[in-house]
Amino acid sequence: MSSSIDISEQAGVRFLHFGSTWVQGAMRIARPWNLELEYTREMMASLLLRDESRWPRKILLIGLGAASLTKFLYKFRPLAHLTIVEIEPRVVAAARQFFKLPEDDKRIHMVIGDGFDYVFETDKKFDLILVDGFNEHAHPGGLNTLPFYQACRTRLSEQGILAVNLIGLSRGVMGGFAYIAEAFEDRALMFPSCESGNTIAFAAEGEPVSISFDDLKENAEKLKEDTGLNLLPTLTRLAQAKTCLNDTLVM
């Protein structure tokens, strides 16, 4: 990345930029553990899809940004081990200096490298893989390809879930989702687009996901009680989109 790493603040929120006004991450200074951006909250809908309370135990995050997802999972999934792959060391430095990225070598394994290469080279399995990696032009590069998503699938455990932030894709969001659906043999679902334009896609490996909207709401209410994160509006939008047959989310 040749662009600069810039930090700005407005109305109590600190923002990360890569040499442009495009927001790469944000943190409300008074509540650093909270998920400030809507799309990061929606990526955490992955936590509603498995009933096991100790899930996920092993998490892979591709793209660090302002460390929002990392901090949330670190705080509210205290048994989880997090592996973060970030291609730009200056982003890691900024996350530590300005966005309160925890220093904990026991639970956080930081890899400076290309997420595309990592999923092909590692032999580790993960319960949850979160893909949120973009350059200064909001392009994901090799992270939005069929081979990459196929490799992600091989790295998922029997309770594995993949969550991907689809935005700024050269072929459009539907093109990116088509790769995910093919890689996971249609065990995938795209949520309605956020107001910001971000669209979150999920895919499942191993144990099937089949969960009613009533159970999703129950899980969301418990997550809200435990973490303060309210995903009930997200579920309302999902229900209104009628992308789930018989009010049941299946993957």
Q: Can you give the pLDDT at residue 137? A: 44
Q: What is the mean pLDDT of residues 145-160?
A: 96
Note whether residue 61 is domain-resident: yes
Q: Give a yes or no: residue 97 inside a domain.
A: yes
Residue 1 lies in a domain: no
Domain residues for 189? Answer: 37-216
Q: Per the structure, how many domains does the chain have?
A: 1
Q: Is the separation of the CB atoms in 204 and 191 below 8 Å? A: no
CATH at 60: 3.40.50.150
pLDDT class of 229 with cuts at 50, 70, 90: very high
- Residue 133: predicted pLDDT: 76
Catalogue the active-site residues: 132
Strands 6-10 and 13-17: antiparallel
Q: Is residue 212 part of a domain?
A: yes
Give tens-digit pLDDT for 183-198: 999 999 999 888 777 8
- 164 found inside a domain: yes
In this structure, the number of other CB atoms found within 10 A of the CB of residue 161 comes to 25
Residue 30 included in any domain = no
When comparing pLDDT for 237 and 141, which is higher? 237
Between 211 and 1, whose confidence is greater? 211
- Residue of 28 and 5 predicted with greater confidence: 28
Give residue 110's pLDDT. 97
Is residue 242, in this structure, part of any structural domain at all?
no
User: Is the per-residue pLDDT at 81 higher than 70?
Assistant: yes
Q: How many CB atoms lie within 10 A of CB 215?
A: 14
Average pLDDT over residues 157-164: 97
Question: Residue 7: pLDDT above 60?
Answer: yes
pTM of the model: 0.92
- What's the token pair of residue 235? 């579920």
pLDDT band at 139 (very low <50, low <70, confident <90, very high): low
- Position 79 in a domain: yes
What single letter denotes the amino acid at residue 80? A
> Closest Cα to residue 130, out of 76, 59, 24?
59
pLDDT in tens, 19-73: 666 677 888 998 989 998 899 999 999 999 998 778 999 999 999 989 999 999 9
